[in-house]
């Protein structure tokens, strides 16, 4: 995925910055087509790079991919801003471009990078802990008498609601009974007519049930309704692998940060004295050669000019000829 995304990004940069400057486009529709094409291609590259950054475990490679990923996201925002300024609208229609690139409308959705939440997980957890602590502090404790009084009020209210519901049910039952007594007895139907009515009701119910089932199957087939299915064994395995890779990422990143500190300290402790002696010897030799050539010691470079760093800096031929002590220094080191 990284190789494919890198190749696509190189081709896209060549197309965006060709060796020969193309003629300026004056047609507004053509300009939008060009911007929309770049936008969709950058969006595809962004999806690939986000997946690579989420799953790669090598710390140095992750830093490099993150740098490229941030640049791609910035370019997507620039293209979006250019399209908004061109059409004076936040909404755009990419039907023709999607058809040319053989993409679907789902490819237009900008995914939220997973590292946005993962890298801020500690901040979110600290915020939740702080809110929980504030809630605990803000809750006031009650004395025993006040707590008992609140419980009594709630219990009496609950009993009152239950009593009201029971009385309402009894009253409705009495009204229904009185209405049944006042009504005249209904004449019995012919068995054939009763069977016909029962069949009509049942057939209507079964047809409505079949229609709802067929409608749901069609919506699922078109992808307009999602079906809750249990994940398969392969999906569970993939989720487990992704979780394991993220744990390995954290371990490798921590080890990489520790290695940076330890290697720097080891270089400073082991190679530092030798490097310091070598540089001091070179500066001392430079001073002696300048004294032998000019009869006096040269002025040491000021701190504003870089101090001793200016002695070892690479200079152009004009700078070497215009500055005698730098010329001598360069001839000494070149020899």
Q: Quote the CA–CA distance of 9 and 45 in Å, as a whole number.
A: 7
What count of residues does the chain have? 335
Q: Quote the CA–CA distance of 22 and 144 in Å, as a whole number.
A: 84
Q: Which residues contact 42 (CB under 8 A, 6 or more apart)?
A: 12, 72, 75, 76, 79
The pLDDT score that the predictor gives to residue 300 is 73
Stretches in the chain below the pLDDT threshold 50: 317-335
Domain range summary for the chain, segments of one domain joined by +: 1-134, 233-322
pTM: 0.57
For the segment 264-273, what is each residue's pLDDT rounded down to a tens digit?
A: 888 888 888 8
The pLDDT score that the predictor gives to residue 127 is 86
What is the average pLDDT score of the chain? Answer: 83
Joined tokens for residue 259: 């290695």
The pLDDT score that the predictor gives to residue 207 is 94
The pLDDT score that the predictor gives to residue 39 is 93
* 49: exposed, middle or buried (Cβ count in 10 Å: 0-12, 13-18, 19+): buried
3-state secondary structure at position 299: coil
The pLDDT score that the predictor gives to residue 329 is 45
**8 Å CB contact between 69 and 53:** yes
Closest CA to 295 of 254, 273, 319, 325: 325
The pLDDT score that the predictor gives to residue 186 is 58
The pLDDT score that the predictor gives to residue 334 is 41
Joined tokens for residue 38: 């770049």
Q: Quote the CA–CA distance of 216 and 222 in Å, as a whole number.
A: 10
């Amino acid at each position: 995925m990284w190789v494919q995304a890198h190749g696509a990004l190189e081709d896209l940069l060549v197309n965006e910055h060709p060796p020969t400057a193309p003629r300026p486009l004056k047609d507004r529709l053509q300009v939008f087509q060009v911007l929309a094409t770049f936008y969709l291609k950058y969006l595809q590259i962004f999806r690939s790079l986000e997946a690579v950054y989420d799953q790669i475990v090598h710390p140095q490679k992750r830093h490099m991919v993150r740098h490229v990923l941030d640049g791609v996201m910035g370019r997507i925002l620039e293209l979006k801003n250019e399209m908004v300024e061109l059409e004076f609208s936040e909404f755009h229609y990419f039907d023709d471009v999607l058809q040319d690139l053989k993409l679907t409308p789902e490819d237009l959705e900008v995914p939220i990078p997973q590292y946005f939440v993962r890298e801020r997980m500690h901040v979110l957890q600290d915020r939740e802990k702080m809110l929980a602590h504030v809630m605990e502090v803000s809750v006031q404790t009650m004395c025993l008498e006040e707590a008992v009084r609140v419980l009594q009020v709630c219990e009496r209210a609950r009993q009152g609601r239950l009593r009201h519901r029971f009385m309402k049910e009894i009253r409705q039952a009495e009204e229904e009974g009185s209405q049944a007594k006042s009504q005249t007895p209904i004449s019995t139907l012919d068995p054939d007519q009763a069977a016909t009515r029962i069949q009509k009701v049942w057939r209507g119910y079964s047809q409505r049930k079949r229609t709802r089932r067929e409608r749901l199957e069609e919506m699922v087939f078109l992808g307009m309704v999602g079906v809750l299915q249990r994940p398969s064994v392969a999906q569970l395995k993939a989720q487990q692998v992704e979780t394991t890779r993220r744990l390995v990422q954290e371990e490798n990143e921590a080890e990489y940060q520790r290695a940076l500190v330890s290697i720097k300290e080891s270089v400073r402790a082991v190679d530092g004295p030798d490097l310091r002696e070598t540089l001091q010897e070179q500066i001392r030799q430079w001073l002696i050669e300048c004294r032998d050539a000019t009869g006096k010691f040269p002025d040491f470079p000021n701190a504003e000019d870089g101090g001793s760093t200016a002695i070892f800096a690479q200079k152009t031929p004009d700078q070497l000829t215009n500055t005698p002590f730098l010329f001598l220094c360069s001839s000494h080191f070149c020899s």
